């Protein structure tokens, strides 16, 4: 009886072992997975020159993916009977050219056969004549895209021909790996945010060279503000240099001279947070700004395109640091900053209640309490940034 049980147990173990060995030695088509190995997410501007439109050849490495199964899916044997199908699609959302909702650009289907290794495809390996990629044979069996003459096609064509690059927008790529029976094995989606920056508009401090009397800053650490368009992978930088009217013939010549920020010689700019539209002059890595002197400042944005790194620059603004110790200066400018040009003209121009006054004398008080020039500077900055508003003005 005991012998029979041992023989029965041995037979069960042999059957189980054979079943496991058979399963391990068989390619499981459902084991294949799409793996992302490279995707150049920092590139935000795609020029048409990166692709040969006659052959489809790419000159810039943008992505690389692999499709891998278990180890028994390669080489001779069971893999010779396996075919994989990769369905793909691309959608675009680009309000700049009139695509205010997501729209399909194209769909297609690729057959992968005679799989001999992990399948690898890089955009630089693909063109119109591609019949194989590392690891398998490759054939395009279906393609549907926007037809020439469609309104959507004309919008895209017009944008590309006028700029030489694809328009700003969101481009969604979708991939589905399927069996011959149309069963989904794996899928992956990727969204490219193409948003090349187009402008940087300076707000304050400063303005043109001819208007320095209205561009006085009452702080040694001014706050710089600007407007700029959204950019997912831009780096914004600032440069501040002294503008000496005796040695500089233009703001451009001044900005390219030895800078106060950053405190180095050369063409460097100082990095700031691209997600913000303001920046305060720092106490470190800078040279002090001096009362009574003019300064030029400029912003630069750096981003990556298929042609390499590119830069756009803002205009150059000029501002003057208030010289509180120079009693000959017209220091009523500080009043203009506080109450605005309109009220200032109403009070101080000919016929105004304060016509003829041209100097501030004595101390400055706020609600009966004497305040320092630094506290007054903070109030002016809050007014300029819209943090606080003046509700009314009275003269005593």
pLDDT digits (tens, 9 = 90+) for 35-91: 988 887 788 888 877 766 566 667 777 788 899 988 778 755 444 578 899 998 888
Q: Quick check: is 261 in a domain?
A: yes
Mean pLDDT of the chain: 79
Residues 187 and 236 placed together within one structural domain of the fold: no
Model confidence at 3: pLDDT above 70: no
Measured CA to CA, the distance from residue 138 to residue 273 in angstroms comes to: 45
Tally the C-alpha atoms within 13 A of residue 215's C-alpha that lie toward its C-beta. 20
Enter the tokens of residue 248. Answer: 């500089």
Distance CA 178, CA 188 (A): 12
Mean of pLDDT values over 144-165 = 74
Could you tell me the pLDDT band of residue 130, with boundaries at 50, 70 and 90? confident
**Is residue 335 located within the same domain as residue 285?**
no
Q: Are 184 and 251 members of one domain?
A: no
pLDDT at 327 over 60: no
Q: Domain limits at 372? A: 330-396
CB 163 within 8 A of CB 48: no
| Farthest-apart Cα atoms in the chain, separation | 126
- Segment 365-384 shows an average pLDDT of 69
| Helix, strand, coil percentages, rounded to 5, for the chain | 25, 35, 40
| Claim to verify: residue 317 and residue 338 sit in the same structural domain | no
> Are residues 315 and 211 part of one domain?
yes
Is residue 166, in this structure, part of any structural domain at all?
A: yes
- Same-domain pairing of 319 and 225: yes
My answer on whether 116 and 246 are in the same domain is no
pLDDT of residue 11: 41
Q: Other CB atoms closer than 10 Å to residue 146's CB: what's the count?
A: 18
* Domain tally, the chain: 3
Over residues 247-252, mean pLDDT: 92
> In this structure, are 239 and 288 located in the same domain?
yes
Residues 184 and 120 in one domain: yes
- pLDDT attached to residue 326: 46
pTM > 0.85: yes or no: no
Asked if residue 17 belongs to a domain, the reply is no
With contact defined as beta carbons under 8 Å apart, do 205 and 319 qualify?
A: yes
**Who has greater pLDDT, 376 or 136?**
136
Return d(Cα 328, Cα 353) in angstroms, integer: 23
pLDDT at 295 over 60: yes
pLDDT at 314 over 90: yes
Residue 214: band (very low, low, confident or very high) from pLDDT cuts 50, 70, 90: low
Indicate whether 146 and 227 sit together in one domain: no
The DSSP element (H or E) to which 103 belongs, if any, is: strand 99-113
Residues 41 and 123 in one domain: yes
Task: Tell me, yes or no, whether 21 lies in a domain.
Answer: no
Q: How confident is the model at residue 307 (pLDDT cuts 50, 70, 90)?
A: confident
């Amino acid at each position: 009886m005991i012998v029979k049980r041992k023989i029965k147990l041995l037979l069960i173990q042999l059957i189980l072992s054979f079943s496991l060995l058979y399963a391990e030695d068989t390619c499981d088509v459902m084991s294949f997975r799409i793996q992302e190995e490279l995707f150049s997410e920092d590139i935000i501007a795609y020029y048409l020159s990166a692709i040969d439109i006659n052959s489809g050849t790419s000159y810039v490495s943008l992505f690389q993916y692999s499709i891998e199964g278990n180890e028994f899916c390669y080489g001779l044997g069971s893999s010779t009977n396996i075919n994989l199908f990769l369905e793909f699609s691309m959608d675009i959302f680009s309000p700049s050219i009139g695509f205010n909702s997501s729209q399909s650009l194209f769909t297609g289907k690729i057959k992968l056969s005679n799989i001999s290794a992990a399948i690898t495809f890089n955009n630089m390996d693909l063109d119109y004549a591609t019949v194989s990629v590392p690891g398998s044979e490759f054939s395009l069996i279906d393609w549907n895209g926007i037809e020439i003459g469609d309104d959507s096609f004309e919008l895209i064509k017009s944008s590309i021909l006028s700029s030489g690059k694809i328009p700003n927008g969101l481009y969604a790529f979708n991939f589905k790996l399927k069996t011959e029976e149309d069963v989904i094995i794996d899928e992956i989606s990727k969204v490219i945010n193409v948003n090349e920056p187009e402008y940087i508009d300076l707000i304050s401090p400063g303005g043109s060279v001819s208007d320095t009397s209205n561009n006085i800053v009452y702080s040694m650490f001014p706050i710089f503000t600007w407007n700029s368009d959204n950019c997912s992978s831009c780096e914004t930088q600032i440069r501040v240099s002294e503008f000496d009217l005796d040695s500089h013939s233009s703001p451009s010549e001044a900005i390219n001279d030895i800078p106060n920020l950053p405190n180095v010689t050369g063409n460097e700019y100082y990095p700031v947070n691209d997600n913000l539209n303001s920046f305060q002059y720092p106490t470190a890595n800078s040279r002090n700004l001096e009362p009574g002197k003019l300064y030029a400042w400029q912003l630069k944005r750096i981003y990556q395109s298929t042609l390499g790194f590119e830069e756009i620059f803002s205009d150059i603004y000029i501002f003057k640091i208030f010289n509180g110790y120079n009693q000959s200066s017209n220091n009523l400018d500080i009043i203009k900053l506080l109450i605005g040009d309109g009220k200032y003209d109403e009070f101080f121009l000919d016929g105004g209640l304060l016509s003829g006054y041209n100097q501030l004398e004595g101390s400055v008080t706020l609600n009966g309490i004497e305040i320092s020039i630094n506290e007054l500077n903070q109030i002016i900055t809050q007014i300029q940034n819209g943090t606080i508003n003046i509700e009314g003005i009275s003269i005593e």
